[in-house]
Structure 1
Amino acid sequence: MVNIAVLVSGGGTNLQAILDAQARGEIKNGRVRAVISSNESAYALERARNAGVPGYVMKKRDYASGAEYCAALARFLHEKDVELVVLAGFMTVLDEGFCREFENRIINVHPSLIPSFCGDGYYGLHVHEAALRKGVKVTGATVHFVNAITDGGPIIAQKAVEVLPGDTPEVLQKRVMAQAEHVLLPHVVSLFCEGRLSVSDDGIVTISE
């Protein structure tokens, strides 16, 4: 059974999607063992409590540097025997050392079809604002492994979502969450826990049957 930690900063709707999938038996060979928040008032911690999952708070400002924070977070995850780290709206940057230590064991969901509307500065509503400014007709979500480059790790799965006339960033965000993020992320978590993901030397992810 793969031990999973979910890192959060806000409301935790993607966390809820994982917990709901787990409750339905759709996370095969894996279990969420810890939810770690960078924000003590994040509603995601309440979602964890409601699901009977231990919640913890680790704030970057409590450490002398980002490197010390990432080192402490890594130690904590090792103490909990965590094998998969899921970023579900986690707004704290993880440094290169952390990414190397958990190489191909950190996954993130991003609200666009990478390589569109991704990288530094593209998060939350900013992504959907950019998509609407560009006038794209299709957007979506991407689940990828995390490396030291923002949104630059190997792509695991993507799902397209139609952009509709009259969409606002808020309306589009909700549609992308419901139709793509909340579908893709639990599915990929299960694929990882089942041992069905592999990454080639050139960064291409293969999903085995």
Structure 2
Amino acid sequence: MLNIAVFVSGGGTNLQSLIDAQDRGEIKNGKITFVLASNENAYALERAKKAGIESTVVNRKAYDTKADYDKAVLEALDGKNIDLIVLAGFLSILGEDLVNEYKNRIINIHPSLIPLFCGDGFYGKKVHTAVLNSGMKVTGATAHFVNEITDGGAIILQKAVPVEQGDNEDILQYRVMRQAEWEILPKAVSLFCEGRIKINGNKTEII
């Protein structure tokens, strides 16, 4: 049974989707044992508390550099025997030290079909605004491994979601979460915990 740490910054809807999937027995050979928030006001901490999951806050604003923040996060993880880190709406970009320490063991969920609308500056509603401004008729979400390039790691799963007439950022964001993010993130986590993801360069193969 692998130990999973979930990193959060806000409301924690993706964390909740993982907790719900775990309760349904859909995350095989893995268990969420730790939640880390980048700020003390993240409602995700309440979700962790209700689920009986240990949590802590490592406030990003308290550290001047990525390296200093990485060091603090690694200290928070010390002794937890974490096998997988899941970034579930975590808005802080991880530095090199943390990415290297957990190489191919960090999964992120991104609210677009990578390589579209991703990279530095594309997060939260900014992604959906860009999609709407582009005139695209389809968007979606991507579960991928994290490497040193923002949103640049190997893709695990993707799911497409239609952009509908009359959509605004809020409507589209909720549709992408409900129809894609909340579905593929727990699946990707389970695949990892079952040892069913093989990485070849920057591509993955589901075994």
- TM-score per shorter chain, which class? over 0.9
- TM-score, with length taken from structure 2: 0.97
Which range is displaced more, 126-135 or 60-69? 60-69
The 3-state SS of whatever aligns with 2:56 is: strand
Query: 1:15 and 1:53 mapped to 2: Cα distance?
Result: 11
* Residue of structure 2 in register with 1:22 after alignment: 22
Q: How does 1:156-167 map to 2 (within 5 A)?
A: 156-167=156-167
Question: Structure 1 residues 122, 105: CA separation in 2 closer, same or farther (over 3 Å shift)?
Answer: same
Percent pairwise identity:
57
Q: Which residue identity does 2:29 align to in structure 1?
A: N
Q: How does 1:6-17 map to 2 (within 5 A)?
A: 6-17=6-17
The 3-state SS of whatever aligns with 2:176 is: helix
Deviation at 1:33, TM superposition (A): 0.3
* Residue of structure 1 in register with 2:205 after alignment: 206
Query: 1:113 and 1:63 mapped to 2: Cα distance?
Result: 32
Deviation at 1:178, TM superposition (A): 0.0
> Structure 1 runs of 4+ off > 6 angstroms?
none
The 3-state SS of whatever aligns with 1:5 is: strand
- TM-score, with length taken from structure 1: 0.96
1:22-73, Cα deviation, whole Å (9 max, x unpaired): 0111110000000000110110000001111011111123345321220221
1:185-208, Cα deviation, whole Å (9 max, x unpaired): 0011000000101111x2110110
The 3-state SS of whatever aligns with 1:79 is: coil
Query: 1:111 and 1:128 mapped to 2: Cα distance?
Result: 8
1:6-34, Cα deviation, whole Å (9 max, x unpaired): 00000000000000000111110000000
Q: How does 1:35-114 map to 2 (within 5 A)?
A: 35-63=35-63, 65-114=65-114
Q: How does 1:176-187 map to 2 (within 5 A)?
A: 176-187=176-187
The 3-state SS of whatever aligns with 2:115 is: coil
The 3-state SS of whatever aligns with 1:6 is: strand
* Residue of structure 2 in register with 1:146 after alignment: 146
Query: 2:50 and 2:114 mapped to 1: Cα distance?
Result: 33
Query: 1:60 and 1:181 mapped to 2: Cα distance?
Result: 25
Query: Tell me, which stretches of 5 or more residues in structure 1 are unaligned?
Result: none
* Residue of structure 1 in register with 2:170 after alignment: 170
Question: Structure 1 residues 27, 170: CA separation in 2 closer, same or farther (over 3 Å shift)?
Answer: same
Query: 2:89 and 2:40 mapped to 1: Cα distance?
Result: 14
Query: 1:157 and 1:64 mapped to 2: Cα distance?
Result: 34
Is the CA contact 2:39–2:60 (under 8 Å) kept in the aligned structure 1? no
Which range is displaced more, 82-91 or 61-70? 61-70
RMSD, aligned α-carbons: 1.0
Q: Which residue identity does 1:206 align to in structure 2?
A: E
Query: Tell me, which stretches of 5 or more residues in structure 2 are unaligned?
Result: none
In the alignment of these two chains, the number of paired residues is 207
Deviation at 1:184, TM superposition (A): 0.3
Q: Which residue identity does 2:96 align to in structure 1?
A: E
1:138-188, Cα deviation, whole Å (9 max, x unpaired): 100000000111100111110000111111011000000000000000011
2:134 is the alignment partner of 1:137 = no
